[in-house]
Structure 1
């Protein structure tokens, strides 16, 4: 897999000239700081990309919006706040910078300097959160990802990031891939996209899910890492010390949490679902290291054995869990562990698969119904995610995946899971939280990430599946990225 890491700087200049003063001054500071040649070259590569990307965006008419010239006030709206089970009507909401200022009833106090948007009694909800997304894997087929230059992968990911945002997902948790520079470009305003909680490459063992090495790279030579690992596609660790090293490497790069692989997976051909990867002491080494950094570990685990081993090691979040049994679900509830799972219901929820991946995915689909029923039975804290990878067409089904939850939850329960509940799980990153404000809720002081829906999604969740038609306003961080309502 051709992954190339980029460090990076940002620049507000739209000029492609590499003699830009800001860039030159930054380069001088880095040299003076006696940074490594590898780090300096990586920074220069990211700098060049940052100078090019704004012009590419403008050429396509998709440049990120500027901050509003005037503060915004929304009037005449019905509010779903991400916590309550009912709507509040006849409200107004003021936006102050990147945060929600005041929410009140009736008409707002007169403010000549504000832009006022009449919402026409439409429903406002928090921006949606996808807790299992792969920002660099969503837009390209796996065959392309295995061969493409990383520059091309990042360009494709930047386009998909904007589409993700316009689908109403204002925040994603990236649980596998070198998404650090993409996050930096979005946060710096170079491209449009959701907030990213990055994990860095998923950490696995030799032969575990995510080990995409060709057989020619086997056996490993001591602690030497392969080209694919160096480029950030995945990270292999086969001892407690290696686990600690790989975890620390991700936090060094800016990870908000880390993800380890506890068993086999669907897309890695040579890793059967029933295999186990890390031992309990190795998983505990990751949990302890993450705790030293003030955050947590998520573990990819389908089977009861993989989930239980993770729980014994103190893991706070299980990804998937589709094959767990009643005893395992009871242990998760007892330990107050999060279940971050995905409502896979048929083969339309994955890119075209060949054997043995197809058979493994069918096994996962068969376990979906039981997983959600067990989660409800035992009161497990459950998060919503999609895990849509390797197809730009499949990625458009992000909202459709949310509607699958109607099989087990009411529309308001599903929306609460994808907003307020997911926001609670994001807050588990504590000291490593890149956005240390409230997400997933609409209340005073929370981040101004919101959607205006044409219709009532608390009665008709299917509205979310057609964002082009039904999302009238998309705002993230107090900036409007879509608005079909006249001010």
Structure 2
């Protein structure tokens, strides 16, 4: 088993996170993609003070005195990327290790992967299920390097639903029985309205910013076919109402028309995946102003090696990818970008590659707006539970100073972001340089 783990830990964090620059940082000589526009803006300067963009002006600043000046050499500054469907604890470790190892080992691997995620240019992620609370705390406190995390906590599912990885020897379930996955905080099983409310509240007292519910079967759970349904509408509504009591929203794992329709009827604000939806379902989502957070899976290169029923289910998902984006465009759905890359350190490196897949349905500016400013709008729906109250995904005065300097124009060639090691010259998060290959 140890041989499976070592690759995930082979590039652990080796340096302390950077300190904030002692002086305000003045960026000059750059072209700006602001996360909202369809074209670049020229002739600007930008000042970062603390963790915030304090000035974004045309022409030359009145003075450079007391500032660290960064000449960007005509390169493009853009917002840090946002991944709306990331699993911080699952991204770099094989599923066999996650299910069989001490959870402490999984957390160590997640710490190493967090730094790599940030250096790929993803300065914020929404964690779509898993015990990422401690990781978020370590990052926010400056203990380790990593992206901002919007944690959902445990995926809440039913007996037999996606995320129920118990062995048959653990059945029948009794009222006081808790599986290892539940103790570790990866999943939470609820089979009544009262249990749903309890499990939702448990995530909030740990620091969840939104709640992840499971509405149908999933690819990686062996005994949950994609077409099965989990919660009743009333049970799902119990989660939605409880989340609203905490000032935030519910996202639901749902592939099929039936699971999506039931979720929308229960008041769910965001559907995850949706690859098997039909025209009627897309129209229903548009009518209810429901978000679609989906992933551009186009081949088996976008998933860790699968076999048997899991592979068959994934191929069914891939077959629906083209349709879900076409339906989203047809009905004007609000679409968020995410990757859902899990169980493989090498697969996690394809985060930027997944963004390039979007060229099949969107032009570069549309795709980049989705992965920055649009995703930031969805993050802000966490309302009272939002741990980062300034704007994310856009570069404007008052927004967080989360930005990338790209060697080339990503609006002309979005493929640049698939090779971040070569093409990202600066990675700044919270006003701190995590990568800077330019001389100040």
TM-score normalized with structure 1 length: 0.87
**Partner deviation per Cα, 1:230-252 (whole Å, 9 max, x = no partner):** 22120000000000000000001
Equivalent positions of 1:36-435 (< 5 A) are 61-435=14-388
Aligned equivalent of 2:422, options 446, 454, 469: 469
**Partner deviation per Cα, 1:44-76 (whole Å, 9 max, x = no partner):** xxxxxxxxxxxx999964220011121111001
Higher mean C-alpha deviation, range 227-236 or range 317-326: 227-236
Q: Which residue of 2 aligns with 1:27?
A: none
Distance (whole Å) between structure 1 residues aligned to residue 361 and residue 12 of structure 2: 44
Distance (whole Å) between structure 2 residues aligned to residue 125 and residue 57 of structure 1: 30
**8 Å CA contact retained: 1:57, 1:191:** no
**Partner deviation per Cα, 1:240-285 (whole Å, 9 max, x = no partner):** 0000000000001000000000000000010000000000000000
3-state SS of the aligned residue for 1:107? coil
Distance (whole Å) between structure 2 residues aligned to residue 85 and residue 213 of structure 1: 48
Distance (whole Å) between structure 2 residues aligned to residue 81 and residue 159 of structure 1: 30
**8 Å CA contact retained: 1:76, 1:106:** no
Distance (whole Å) between structure 1 residues aligned to residue 176 and residue 200 of structure 2: 15
**8 Å CA contact retained: 1:57, 1:63:** no
Runs of 4+ in structure 1 deviating by more than 6 angstroms, as ranges, are 56-59
Distance (whole Å) between structure 2 residues aligned to residue 232 and residue 215 of structure 1: 20
Question: Which structure 2 segments of 5+ residues have no match?
Answer: 1-8
Task: Report the Cα offset of residue 151 of structure 1.
Answer: 1.6
**Partner deviation per Cα, 1:406-440 (whole Å, 9 max, x = no partner):** 00000000000000000000000000001111000
3-state SS of the aligned residue for 2:100? coil
**Partner deviation per Cα, 1:425-484 (whole Å, 9 max, x = no partner):** 000000000111100000000000000000000110000000000000000000010001
3-state SS of the aligned residue for 1:129? strand
3-state SS of the aligned residue for 1:82? coil
Residues 222, 58 of structure 1: CA spacing in aligned structure 2 closer, same or farther, 3 A cutoff?
A: closer
**8 Å CA contact retained: 1:90, 1:121:** no
Distance (whole Å) between structure 2 residues aligned to residue 59 and residue 205 of structure 1: 36
Q: Which residue of 1 aligns with 2:436?
A: 483
3-state SS of the aligned residue for 2:240? helix
Task: Report the Cα offset of residue 225 of structure 1.
Answer: 2.0
Question: Which structure 1 segments of 5+ residues have no match?
Answer: 1-55
**8 Å CA contact retained: 2:209, 2:248:** yes
Task: Report the Cα offset of residue 336 of structure 1.
Answer: 0.3
3-state SS of the aligned residue for 1:101? strand
Q: Which residue of 1 aligns with 2:407?
A: 454
Task: Report the Cα offset of residue 93 of structure 1.
Answer: 0.3
**Partner deviation per Cα, 1:290-329 (whole Å, 9 max, x = no partner):** 0000000000000000000000000000000000000000
Q: Size of the alignment, in residue pairs?
A: 432
Residues 195, 60 of structure 1: CA spacing in aligned structure 2 closer, same or farther, 3 A cutoff?
A: closer
Distance (whole Å) between structure 2 residues aligned to residue 433 and residue 216 of structure 1: 40
Distance (whole Å) between structure 2 residues aligned to residue 436 and residue 60 of structure 1: 28
3-state SS of the aligned residue for 1:401? helix
TM-score normalized with structure 2 length: 0.97
3-state SS of the aligned residue for 1:380? coil
